[in-house]
Every structure is written in structure tokens, then in C-alpha cells.
Amino acid sequence: MECAKLAVSTKEMIVLLMGVTGAGKTTIGRRLAERLGWVFLEAGDFHSAANKQKMHRGVPLTDADREPWLDAIHATLVAQAAAGKNVVVGCSALKETYRKRLTSGLDLKLVYLKGSPELIAGRLRSRSGHFAGESILADQFAVLEEPHDGFVVNVSSGSEAIVDQIVQEIAQEGSHATTAGDQTGKHLLTRIAWRLLPFLFLLYVVAYLDRINVGFAALQMKDQLGFSDSVYGFGAGIFFVSYFLFQVPSNMVLERVGARLWIGVLMILWGIISASMFLVHSPGSFYTLRFLLGATEAGFFPGVLFYLRAWFPPALPASVIALFMTAGPISGVIGGPISGALLNLEGRRGLAGWQWMFLMEGIPAILLGVIAWFYLVDGPENAGWLTPEEKNWLRQRKASPKNRTAATQTTASSVVWWASADLWRLVLVDFILNTCTYGVSLWLPSALKNISGLPNLLVGFASAVPNLLAVILMVLVGMHSDRTGERRWHIAFSAFAGSAALFAAGYSNSVVFSVVAFGLALAASSSMAGTFWSLASATLTESNAARAIALINAIGNLGSGFGPYWIGYLRDVTHSFRAGLWSVALAMALAGFTILTVRHDGSAKSPTHV
């Protein structure tokens, strides 16, 4: 029987022992729960005082008496399931309507303790201490609706033999249920992904485009407004200073008001500010609007990661994050040609091409912010398109033994959550990752223009190639990481490849070679992101997740500001992109070695990858 115990202890389950009074529900239920190490609930304990008085007087209970009793048991079972507990409950549950009321939204195994009226009446007569008389027994047999979908056990056997039969049945069903549950979970997560990710993906495309379109604006704006490379680099980078300052406060507001409201508000605000960039006329106005844009976008990405954790417990698969984060390079693929075309509106209605670009590309964020209010819901519990069974599956997976153990182990140290060495290693890697990604992205149009002399529209199309390569590699690396269950070496290899590509780009004077080298560098840093956040998400506990994700992303994104500024500064000093590219290449190599020192790889392979 020990083998059976092990077989059923790996998945949360509720066993309902039903039958008329005297069938042995309490005796068998206690022994079964003791054998399995589960929680036992005696349904009689949930009766009201009035119900108990009726039964002691031999008065049968009415449906009106039973309904509050059944609801109380059901509420306790829901709470136990949410806590990931295995439960044996002994309850008469004589009618089908009672059983449906009792088990609504729960994954439950029904065991019917069956015996003849003569056998059970004889038992009651032999038990002088049993409160129920034969009058109650007769009434229960009169209303009994035998189940058609349960495991039937004849109570003429001894209690130990009955327990053995039930344990064996549960063990066999548990082995089948694990496979079936994995398939059900996989289909559910796939459905959730298709429901949420396309919309969130679109939001991130718009967000990313609004932060990087300044790279295309620089093709005209720098000369027309007299900005030096340092002024442009500082203005492009100051976005990430406010992004850093407002990220944790923004995520705290999200936790309080919910994702639907806060993400919608942020998008409307950053759309207005992004469109207002057409008013830039001096370094001061450039810095101010970029700072405000960073403040409004600060809560979006960590907020979405925190939001998705509720839908994909216990940790976000790398493939899910990678698919979501392909929005960054996709915005480059789409935004490059669009921005290049909008720059050609130079002089229309008295506006420069870069002014038209900011105006037109800010409007989608405002419209999508309104739509987000109607489309998003604040977690699975509020999703009308999920069934109660699906919600319960998500609750149980979130409260899985592995999750609970990790949370328990870290509760005592939660007051010093920021003191973890691994947390700061993750911060450093994210800083370097963003230094490369944004350093390359925001200077890519200027670098290609400098090398090729192509018109703006063709520069836009040429800049789309590195972003397209980044999209492909992000998805492939994320999928391979999920399939193998490995995280750190996937991140490290991408970092080393990016380092080599940046060194090569620094040597290049060829348009084709530069596009390939920049493409490999951007693809390498971008493909690190999905696997990186999956590793980080799995390493963090539920109680510290919002703060830790916000901290990693906030400080890490200072690299997004440092990269463009550093490359621009070194170009002013050396009149070349080479020094900036090589210094970032060295940083990428450091990131590769650093991620290999992260001790806790929470990337255990899951059967429910999307």
C-alpha cells in the first residue's frame, strides 16, 4: 500500500465517501485519510445546532435544512483545494442535486459505500452510541439516488479491506489523471495564451515603437534642431532614468487598482506624451518629454509580467515570455519602414517629417488604452471565459507543493529579499542586456545611414532586417530552452554570440556585413530576454515577485539609457561607432559569465508548456 500512497500524493485530490447513515463513512474516511496522509472532513461537523437536534430526535432533514450545510462543506473544500490539500470527506450526499451542489467547480473522486437496508440496519442496532435510528435510515434509503459515475464499494467487507480497495482505485486513477491533467492543463494554457498574448503583444509593439522611434527622428531632428550626438544620446537615454524611478511605484499602484485599469491609463498617458514629441524645439523640451514618456511607460512591462504570473503558474515559460517580448524587434520590423515613410512627409502642412512621425505613432497607444479597459480582466477568478473547473486547476497549480515549499522557505527572510546575491546578478545581466539591445536599436538607423548614405525610407527597410532576425531567434531560443528545461547556458551562449557580433560590427565598412553583424548582435541580446525572465520568474517567490521583478527591470533598464548615451558619447570623442560597440561587446561577455554563477535555476521542465 505504500506504493499506492506515493502514487496519489503527487496531485491534489478530493475523495467524497457517500452513503446512508451507518455505512461507515466516518470510520473508513478517517482510516483512509490516515493511510494517505490526507485531511479528513466529517460532514456531520458542519451541521447547524438545529439540524443536530432534529437528527437526535429522529426527525428527517428537509432540503432547506441541508442546503446551508452543503454550502458550508463546499466552501471548506474550495479553501482546501486552493491551499493544495488532499482531502477525504465523509458525507451522505444522498441526492444528485446534493452532490452537484457539494462538488461545484471541484475535481473530485466519488466513492459510494453501498450496503443493503438489512445489513446497515443491523449495524445501527449493534452500535448503541450511534445517534441515528432506523427511522432516519429508512428515510435516507427512500430518498437515496445511487450515483452512476462513482466507485462502488460493498460495505459487507471489513473496514481495512475497504480502505485497501479505495487506495488501489485512487492510485490507478491518479496515474491516468496525471497524464489527462497534463493534457488538460496544456490545452488550457494554450487557450489562455491565445486569449491574452496577442493583445498584450500589440500593446508592447506600440509601447516599444513609441520609445525607439526617436532613433528614426534623429535622422532629421538632429540637424534641424542642431543637436549633437551627446544631446541626442542623453535625450534618448533619459527616458530610462524616469523608467527606473517610477517603476516600483507604478507596480505598487497596479497591485492596488488592477491591471485592466492601470495598463489602460498608462497607455493613454504615454500616447499623449509620445504624440506631444512633435513640439520638441530645444534640448530642454526634448529631455522633458522623454523623461515623462519613461515615467508613464515604467509600469507596463513589469506589470504585464506580474499579470501573466497569475495565468501561467508556477513560473512563466520561456516560450511565453519570448513570444511576448518579440514585440520589441517586431516593432522594429514594422516601425522601421513606417517611420521611414513618415519622415518623407517633410514639409506637409508646415511640419517636419519627424514631427509627423511622432504625431501619427502616438495615436494607437491612446486608442488601445481605451480598449484595454474592456478586454483585460484582473486575473483568472474574474474571467467569464474560464469554467469553474479551469479556474480551480489554475488555483491548484499555483498552490502546488513545490510553490508552497519555496514560499515557506523564503517567508522568514522576506524582509531582506533584496539581499540575495542571485538577485543582484540578475540585475547586472539585465542591465547589460538592455545596454546592448537599446544601444544597438537606437543608433542602428544612424549607423546604417553613416555607412550607406541610403535615403531614409531604405534605411528604414534595412533596419528591419536585424529586427526580423531577432524575432526568429528569440522564439527559437525560448522554445529550445523550454524543451530542454535549461536556462543559464541558453542565456550565456546568446551573450557570447552577441559579444562576437558587436566586435565584428565595429570592424565593418560594408552595408551588408553591418546589417548581418548588427542583426546577430540584436538577435543575441533579444533572445536572452525571454529565457532570462523565465529564470528570474521561477527564482522569485510569490510574496516578493512584484518587488523583485520591478527592481530587476528598473535597474536593468538603466542600461537601456546608458547604452545609447555611452555609444553617442564615445562617437563624439572618437568620431566613430567602433569604441562604443567594442565596449558593449565586452559587457556582453561579462553578462555571459555572470549568468552562469546564478545558483538557483528554477527551470524544471513542466508538462504544461504552451
Contacts of 498 (CB under 8 A, 6+ apart): 436, 520, 521, 523, 524, 525, 528, 585, 588
Q: Give the containing element (helix H, strand E) for 16.
A: strand 14-18
**Number of C-alpha atoms within 13 angstroms, CB side, residue 75?**
7
The pLDDT score that the predictor gives to residue 413 is 43
Virtual torsion, Cα 251, 255, 258, 263, nearest 10 deg: 0
Q: Can you tell me which residue has the cell 561579462?
A: 590
The answer to whether 20 and 92 have CB atoms below 8 angstroms apart is yes
pTM across the whole model: 0.56
Give the C-alpha separation, 316 to 324, whole Å.
11
- Residue 53: which H helix or E strand, with range? helix 49-56
CB count in 10 Å sphere of residue 412 = 8
Within-domain flag for 603: no
Instruction: List, for residues 504-516, the tens digit of each pLDDT value.
Output: 887 777 767 777 7
Residue 174, in any domain of the structure: no
Is position 212 within any domain?
Answer: yes
DSSP states along 245-285: HHHHHHHHHHHHH-HHHHHHHHHHHHHHHHHGGGG--SHHH
Regarding whether 230 and 107 lie in a shared domain, the answer is: no
Query: Nearest-CA neighbor of 605 among 310, 398, 314?
Result: 314
In a shared domain, residues 514 and 392: yes
Domain containing residue 262: CATH number: 1.20.1250.20
Q: How far apart are CA 459 and CA 446, in angstroms?
A: 9
CB proximity list for 54: less than 8 A, separation 6 or greater: 60, 61, 65
Q: Which residue has the cell 555607412?
A: 451
Closest listed residue to residue 77, CA positions, set 392, 354, 385: 392
**Residues 192 and 138 both lie in one domain:** no
143 and 256 inside one domain: no
pLDDT score recorded for residue 277? 92
Q: What is the pLDDT of residues 513-534, one digit of tens each?
A: 777 787 788 888 878 877 887 7
| Total domains, the chain | 2
Please indicate, yes or no, whether residues 217 and 151 belong to a single structural domain of this protein. Answer: no
* Residues 388 and 510 placed together within one structural domain of the fold: yes
If asked whether residues 360 and 252 sit together in one domain, one would say yes
pLDDT of 317: 63
Q: How many Cα atoms within 13 Å fall on the side-chain side of residue 380?
A: 24
**105 in the same domain as 9:** yes
For residue 10, what pLDDT is reported?
A: 40
Asked, for residue 172, whether it belongs to a domain, the answer is no
Average pLDDT, the chain: 79
CA triple 524-529-534, angle to 5 deg: 135
Among 495, 508, 524, 519, residue whose Cα is nearest residue 591 = 495
35 within domain boundaries: yes
* Model pLDDT, residue 283: 92
Q: What is the pLDDT of residue 543?
A: 55
Q: What whole-number distance in Å separates Cα of residue 102 and Cα of residue 556?
A: 49
Q: Is the dihedral of CA 43, 45, 46, 48 positive or negative?
A: positive
Name the stretches of the chain with pLDDT < 70: 1-12, 127-135, 172-184, 313-322, 396-419, 442, 511, 538-547, 600-610
What strand order describes the sheet that includes 39-42? 39-42, 87-90, 14-18, 108-114, 151-154
From the list 193, 369, 371, the residue with the least C-alpha distance to 297 is: 369
Could you identify the residue written with the cell 533584496? 418
- Residue 176 counted as domain residue: no
The per-residue pLDDT for 360 is 93
Q: Domain boundary residue among 122, 156, 190?
A: 156
Q: For residue 137, give Cα distances in angstroms to 18, 43, 55, 246.
A: 14, 17, 11, 67
Provide the pLDDT for residue 292: 94
Cα–Cα distance, 377 to 371 (Å, whole number): 12
For 462-493, the pLDDT digits (tens) are 777 777 887 788 778 878 887 877 888 989 99
Q: Return d(Cα 175, Cα 335) in angstroms, integer.
A: 50
Q: pLDDT, tens digit, for every residue of 420-475?
A: 777 888 889 999 988 888 777 767 777 777 777 777 778 777 777 777 887 788 77
Task: With respect to residue 106, please indicate whether it lies within any of the assigned structural domains.
Answer: yes
Statement to judge: residues 149 and 196 lie in one domain: no
pLDDT digits (tens, 9 = 90+) for 300-312: 877 787 788 778 7
Which of 136, 115, 150 is CA-nearest to residue 15?
Answer: 150
Report d(CA 397, CA 375) in Å as an integer. Answer: 25
Question: d(Cα 535, Cα 486) in Å, to the nearest integer?
Answer: 9
Do 473 and 332 reside in the same domain of the chain? yes
Q: How far apart are CA 264 and CA 373, in angstroms?
A: 6
The pLDDT tens digits of the residues spanning 570-581 come to 888 888 778 888
Give yes or no: residues 343 and 472 share one domain.
Answer: yes
Round to whole Å and give the CA distance between 231 and 237: 10
Q: State the Cα–Cα distance between residues 83 and 74, nearest whole angstrom.
A: 14
With respect to residue 289, please indicate whether it lies within any of the assigned structural domains: no
Which DSSP helix (H) or strand (E) runs through 455? none
- Strand 108-114 and strand 39-42: the pairing is unpaired
Residue 463's pLDDT is 76
Q: Output the domain CATH number for residue 108.
A: 3.40.50.300
Final residue belonging to a domain, choices 123, 139, 156: 156
Q: Which domain holds residue 352?
A: 181-280+299-595
Evaluate whether 451 touches 511 at the Cβ level (below 8 Å).
yes
Query: Looking at the structure, do residues 101 and 244 belong to the same domain, yes or no?
Result: no
Q: What whole-number distance in Å separates Cα of residue 260 and Cα of residue 254?
A: 9
Give residue-wise pLDDT tens across range 3-15: 333 334 445 678 9
Asked if residues 233 and 569 have their Cβ atoms less than 8 Å apart, the reply is yes
pLDDT of residue 370: 93
Residue 56 CB partners (closer than 8 Å, separation 6+): 131
Cα 433 to chain centroid, rounded: 21
